[in-house]
Amino acid sequence: MAEYFMEKGRDVLIVYDDLTNHAIAYRELSLLLRRPPGREAFPGDVFYIHSRLLERSTHLRKELGGGSLTALPIVATEAQNVAAYIPTNIISITDGQIYLSPDLFQKGILPAVDVGKSVSRVGGKTQLPVYRAVAGNLRLSYSQFEELEKFARFSTRLDEQTRKTLERGRRVREVLKQDQYKPLTVSEQIAALLSVTEGVFDDLPVEKIEEAERSIRSAVTEQLPHISETIHTGSKLCDEDKKAIVEAAGTVIVKEKS
């Protein structure tokens, strides 16, 4: 069905939910047929079965219709073991993975995306340049914060730099939260990410971050429409544009404090 619409020139997304159950069913059939088992009793050709399925995704040239087919396979892990046979097979086939952590979900951090285990092998080539400019080091710094937060639980005395890193990381975590069915435009995302990475939220209590972020997104969209247009067209942000966003965000924070 997906290929039919792709050949009509449409951009199609197909979600496989889930390939773990698919592999288990294939393993049971293979064992009943007395095929030789391999790792975790899966037959040796389970990788071929999945790769043949997922690699039908493509982007057609204009002379062939210009349609595209994107595959989003879902894989369940046992005890959060990403290194199991089926997850590693799928990861090696795809262009990246989004790992949803049960621990983050239980803490109420939604969407429960584990930044450290989620990677993209094509992100830098496909995303807008403004993302790399604003959040280029965000993933690394946030992962360092999570590690530091674990060790900080065992210590009551923290130096000033460590304390600032932890406070900044907690605010980044709040900004990364998103309500269900409420997608954000690119300019809104950039406004929030730039504000938190530039320290606009540092002096604001964590419980007020959500409301302040909402106000900043609205302010940037309404007061700086030319910058929003620049972001949506895929152009790079100059230093003056970044400064304007930070200043608009700072004005909102001053109002929130008062």
Active site (catalytic) residues: 121
Radius of gyration of the chain (CA): 22
Taking the C-alpha atoms of residue 175 and residue 210, their distance in angstroms, rounded to an integer, is: 7
- Residue of 19, 26, 21, 20 lying closest to 42 (CA atoms): 26
Question: Residue 59 forms beta bridges with which residues?
Answer: 68
Q: Do residues 186 and 193 touch, judged by C-beta distance below 8 A?
A: no
- Residue of 58, 64, 55, 57 lying closest to 9 (CA atoms): 64
The number of CA neighbours under 13 Å toward the Cβ of 90 is: 22
Residues near 139 by beta carbon (within 8 Å), at least 6 away in sequence: 115, 116
